[in-house]
């Protein structure tokens, strides 16, 4: 569910004119890590990805790199561009990217390799990324996972803090989500199997959309599928129920770099500084500043890094 929207016309040349090495020729496993001083950072074009790209650019700039940001809002295009060295760094999501690379390597019906366990997911992701000339840097504290929310009144009335609490309460639950929820293991089937929640119907209003949150707010539905970095829940009177049995995959934020151009210790150390501070709650707050307060991602990113002592004012 990460990385969406359409490709800007200016980026169509990524597929029409590939100048970097191919998977077959780049010799990525044995080649030494590169340290280009001119780096292109990719963003998938939605708020969170834009914010992360801006923070990456600022931290790399502080470390002496010259950067530019390129918006390529389709993983089918930006991942090959990353392999080819047309993009050098991109923020990704560990489990989602692992499953995407696995499907690319082994076919769409390949069993998923992303899991709720971060270490297992990272091992699979790095194994899939390395032959493509990609290095996956360490994850930090921030994770953007699927999450489920109910109204604060509903949670209070039934004494709910976790999804296990909801299952134990034996309440009938109409769930606002995407229509794919009826088949996805992290959604209706998983809620039933892992938590014993009585999902009576899936209301196909989308993942974390205003319409879906309003349906829960007004009592039409009892729960909504959203994400852990959704900053608008308070506005709808909603609260998250903890995924206490770890149904969701480990979608921790990880920088992925082209090894031959950005695999150096300089890049790793510059981006690693973010891991010491950025939390899921921080990311939700940053998203809110852009989406609700209409601030520019670059300004929000800079103010955050300054507030954490990673940049000078």
HSE-up of residue 120 (Cα within 13 Å, Cβ side): 9
Q: Per-residue b/e over 229-245, b at no fewer than 16 CB within 10 Å?
A: bbbbbeebebbbbebee
Res 30: pLDDT: 53
Cα–Cα distances in angstroms (integers) from residue 147 to residues 119, 177, 240, in the given order:
21, 11, 7
> How do the pLDDT tens digits run along the chain, 313 residues long?
444 333 333 443 443 333 333 333 343 455 679 999 999 999 998 899 999 999 999 999 999 999 999 999 789 889 999 999 999 999 999 999 999 999 999 998 999 999 999 999 999 999 999 999 999 999 999 999 999 999 999 999 999 999 999 999 999 999 999 998 998 889 999 999 999 999 999 999 999 999 999 999 999 999 999 999 998 999 999 999 999 999 999 999 999 999 999 999 999 999 999 999 999 999 999 999 998 899 999 999 999 999 999 999 9
3 state DSSP class of 204 = strand
Q: What is the CA angle 126-180-52, rounded to 5? A: 45
3 state DSSP class of 182 = helix
Collect all residues with Cβ–Cβ distance below 8 Å to 62 and sequence separation of at least 6: 270, 310, 311
- Domains of the chain, CATH where assigned: 36-143+250-307 (3.40.190.10), 146-241 (3.40.190.120)
Q: Are 267 and 35 in contact (CB under 8 A)?
A: yes
Instruction: List the 38-43 sheet strands across, edge first.
Output: 66-71, 38-43, 89-93, 253-258, 134-136
Question: CA–CA separation, 219 vs 213, rounded Å?
Answer: 10
DSSP string computed for 41-108: EEE-SSHHHHHHHHHHHHHHHHTT-EEEEEE---HHHHHHHHHHTSS-EEEEEHHHHHHHHHHHHH-T
Res 128: pLDDT: 98
Res 74: pLDDT: 81
Q: Are 257 and 39 in contact (CB under 8 A)?
A: no
For helices 94-106 and 118-129, give the axis angle rounded to 10 degrees: 40
């Amino acid at each position: 569910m990460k990385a969406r929207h359409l490709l800007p016309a200016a980026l169509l040349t990524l597929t029409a004119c590939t100048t970097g090495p191919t998977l077959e020729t780049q010799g990525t496993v044995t080649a030494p890590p590169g340290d280009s001083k001119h780096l292109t950072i990719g963003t998938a074009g939605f708020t969170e990805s834009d914010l992360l790209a801006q923070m990456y650019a600022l931290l790399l700039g502080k470390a002496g790199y010259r950067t530019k940001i390129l918006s390529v809002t389709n993983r089918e295009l930006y991942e090959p561009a990353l392999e080819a060295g047309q993009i050098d760094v991109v923020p990704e999501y560990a489990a989602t990217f692992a499953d995407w690379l696995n499907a690319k390597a082994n076919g769409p019906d390949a069993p998923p390799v992303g899991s709720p366990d971060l270490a297992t997911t990272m091992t699979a992701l790095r194994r899939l990324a390395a032959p493509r000339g990609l290095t996956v840097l360490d994850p930090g504290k921030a994770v953007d996972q699927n999450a489920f929310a109910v109204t604060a009144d509903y949670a209070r009335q039934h004494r709910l803090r976790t999804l296990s609490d909801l299952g134990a309460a034996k309440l009938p639950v109409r769930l606002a989500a995407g229509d794919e929820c009826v088949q996805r293991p992290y959604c209706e089937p998983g809620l039933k199997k892992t938590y014993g929640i009585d999902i009576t119907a899936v209301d196909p209003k989308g993942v974390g959309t205003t319409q879906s949150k309003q349906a829960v707010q007004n009592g039409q539905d009892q729960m909504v599928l959203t994400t852990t970095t959704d900053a608008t829940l308070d506005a709808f009177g909603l609260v998250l129920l903890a995924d206490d049995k770890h149904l969701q995959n480990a979608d921790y934020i990880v920088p992925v770099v082209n090894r031959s151009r950005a695999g150096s210790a300089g890049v790793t150390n510059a981006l690693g500084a973010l891991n010491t501070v950025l939390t899921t709650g921080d990311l939700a707050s940053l998203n809110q500043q852009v989406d609700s307060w209409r601030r520019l991602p670059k300004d929000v990113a800079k103010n955050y890094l300054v507030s954490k002592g990673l940049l000078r004012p």
